[in-house]
Amino acid sequence: MAVPHMKQTIELSSWVRKAQFEFFNAFEEPFFGITADVECDAAYKLCKREGHSFYLFYLHKILLAANQIQEFKYRIEGDRVVLWNHIRIGATVDRADGTFGFAHFEFHHHFTDFAVAAQAEIERVRGRTDLQASDGNDDIIHFSAVPWVSFTSLSHARHFKRADSCPKVATGKLHQQQGKTVMPVSVHGHHALMDGAHVGRFFQVLEALLGTEGAC
C-alpha cells in the first residue's frame, strides 16, 4: 500500500542551510552533478536467479536510498522550502512505436509491492500516446535509463524559466569491472538544498542496498 504524501514547511530564518540556500538559490543554474560506477553484482545475480526485473529492482533501491537522505526530500515551492515525508520517482517508459511517456512510481517499502504497482503503471503509460510529464506534484525524482551507454558523465535538458528543484538520477549500461557487474549512475541535485556530501551518501546507501543477495 502506498504511503500517504505529507510535507512540512521549513522555517528559513532558523534553518541550518539558510546561508547556503540563499547563496545557491540565486544562481541561474543551481544544479550540480556527480557520476560514478555503482557495484550491483549481488543484486544482478539475485534478479537473474529469482526472475525479478533488474530494472524495477534497482529503481526501487534508488527510491529507497533517496528516501533515507533528508536532503533529497526538500523542495522549493515559490519563496518557501518544504520537506516531504517521502518522495516518489518519475521515469520514462518506452512504447512500441519508438516514443515514450512518463510514469510516476509510488514509494513502497517492499520491492514486491513496488514491482506490482510499477508494472501496472508501465502498462498504463504504454496504453497512452501523451507524455503526462507531471501530475502536478514535486514530491518526485526525475529518472532516466540509458542502457545503451556506459557513460562517464551526463547532462539534462532543463527548462530554466520553470522552477525546478527535483533531483535527477540516470543509469547507464551494465559493464564488468574487476570481475564485478557495475552500473554508471548520475545524480544531479539543487545546490541550495543539498551538497556533494549528501550525493556521496546517496551513492554509499545505494551501493549497500544493491550489494546484498538477500531479501528484496
Q: Cβ(73)–Cβ(67) under 8 Å?
A: yes
Q: How many CB atoms lie within 10 A of CB 122?
A: 19
- Do the strands 31-39 and 140-146 form a parallel or antiparallel pair, or are they unpaired? unpaired
Encode 123-152: b = buried (16+ Cβ within 10 Å), e = exposed. Answer: eebeeeeeeeeeeeebbbbbbbbeeeeeee
What local confidence, expressed as pLDDT, does residue 215 receive? 47
Helices then strands (H, E): number in the chain? 5, 10
3-state SS, 161-215, equals CCCCCCCEEEEECCEEECCEEEEEEEEEEECCCCCHHHHHHHHHHHHHHCCCCCC
Per-residue pLDDT of the chain (216 residues; tens, 9 = 90+): 556 779 999 999 999 999 999 999 999 999 999 999 999 999 999 999 999 999 999 999 999 999 999 999 999 999 999 999 999 999 999 999 999 999 999 999 999 999 999 999 999 999 999 988 777 789 999 999 999 999 999 999 888 888 899 999 999 999 999 999 999 999 999 999 999 999 999 999 999 999 965 445
Q: Cβ(53)–Cβ(59) under 8 Å?
A: no
What local confidence, expressed as pLDDT, does residue 20 receive? 98
What local confidence, expressed as pLDDT, does residue 190 receive? 98
What local confidence, expressed as pLDDT, does residue 135 receive? 74
Q: List the domain boundaries for the chain.
A: 28-209
What local confidence, expressed as pLDDT, does residue 214 receive? 45
Between CA 155 and CA 139 the distance in angstroms is 22
Between CA 152 and CA 138 the distance in angstroms is 28
What local confidence, expressed as pLDDT, does residue 136 receive? 75
Torsion of CA 9, 166, 100, 205, to 10 degrees: -110
Between CA 135 and CA 153 the distance in angstroms is 29
Fold of domain 28-209: Chloramphenicol Acetyltransferase (3.30.559)
Instruction: Name the grid cell of 194.
Output: 543539498
Q: Cβ(67)–Cβ(84) under 8 Å?
A: no
